[in-house]
Amino acid sequence: MKVSARNIFKGRVDALKNGAVNSEVRIALPGGDALVAIITLASVQSLELAVGKEVIALVKAPWVMLMTEHADIRLSARNCLTGTVKAIELGAVNAEVTLSLAGGTQIAAVVTREAVAELGLKPGVTATAVIKASNIILGVPA
């Protein structure tokens, strides 16, 4: 598989909570990082997800929000992943920012150049990537 999404996380299901329609899937990433995804119960069944199963989690970079100095706020988004800015690539209007999490996972976000300036983002700075659980697509080997 080749995919346009800039974020392809390989991990293992380590918790699975089924509701009537949706399911919450917790994915352990190598190094101790983790992601929570919400997908339909129908997808859990068709992908035969179970605790311990290997999965990939796909997230397009424009679906990732970045935050700094957030000690004063709590968010509804299930994934708030704090790391260090590793690289910034500037376009005319947008910028692609890569974070490194503690466990080694890297996350790419596309944000505006204006946001990069406002947040004072540059390599080495601490920042948090915010990803809504419903914006994660899961995949399993066919």
Q: Which residues bind its own copies (CB under 8 A)?
A: 1-6, 19-22, 37-40, 43-44, 46-47, 56, 58, 60-63, 65-78, 89, 91-94, 96, 109, 111-112, 114-116, 118-120, 130, 132-135, 137-142
For the CB of residue 102, give the shortest distance to its own copies in the complex, in Å.
21
Decide: 13 and 53 in contact? Cβ < 8 Å: yes
**58-70 burial, b for 16+ CB within 10 Å, e for fewer?**
bbbbebbbbeeee
Q: Which is nearer to its own copies, 33 or 132 (CB)?
A: 132
For the CB of residue 91, give the shortest distance to its own copies in the complex, in Å.
4
CA distance 51 to 131: 22
Q: Which is nearer to its own copies, 31 or 62 (CB)?
A: 62
- C-alpha triplet 25, 30, 31: angle, nearest 5°: 120
Q: Which is nearer to its own copies, 31 or 85 (CB)?
A: 85
For the CB of residue 32, give the shortest distance to its own copies in the complex, in Å.
22
Q: Which is nearer to its own copies, 31 or 70 (CB)?
A: 70
Q: Is 4 exposed, middle or buried (0-12, 13-18, 19+ CB in 10 A)?
A: exposed
